[in-house]
Amino acid sequence: MIAPPYAGKVSFSQFSRFFFWRTKDLSLDRGTIVSHTSNVHVLPRTGRLKRAVRAVGNGAIVRLEGFLVDVDGLDDPEFHWGTSTSRTDEGPQSCETIYLERLTVDRRLYE
């Protein structure tokens, strides 16, 4: 989404756990926008990773390495937070939850 023809033509927002995108340019391919954006919930393996994730700024190029995971409640056995395993789904339950083991921000690696 940072390269033409999408660069600067798609806006993003978040409310609660939900991610939204918008564009006024109806010539842009909707499927490409859906498959190349996501709402990722991050569970960092270490405190260093947690601090690095929190420090990521707008426009940074990041690479996340880890595992997609489902989260089940210990205190509340009814709680289940499933992760998406598809790049083309949308709406509620389309977010990914990653157990983060490595993070690269621009060219700096965190573990």
Convert the pLDDT of each residue in 46-76 to its tens digit: 999 999 999 999 889 999 999 999 999 999 9
pTM: 0.83
Q: Considering its fold, how many domains does the chain have in total?
A: 2
The verdict on 29 and 46 lying in the same domain is no
Task: Look up the domain containing 56 and give its range.
Answer: 39-110
Show Cβ contacts of residue 39 under 8 Å, excluding neighbours closer than 6 positions.
14, 17, 18, 19, 94, 95, 96
Going by C-alpha positions, the residue among 22, 31, 17 that lies closest to residue 96 is: 17
pLDDT tens, 87-103? 999 888 899 999 999 99
The verdict on 43 and 32 lying in the same domain is no
- Has residue 1 got a pLDDT over 90? no
What is the band of 2 on the pLDDT scale with cuts at 50, 70, 90? confident
Strand partners, 100: 44, 66
Contact 98, 64 (CB under 8 A): yes
Summarize the confidence of residues 7-23 as an average pLDDT.
91
Q: How far apart are CA 87 and CA 96, in angstroms?
A: 9
Burial of 21 per CB tally in 10 Å (0-12, 13-18, 19+): middle
The verdict on 32 and 62 lying in the same domain is no
Going by C-alpha positions, the residue among 29, 28, 49, 34 that lies closest to residue 102 is: 49
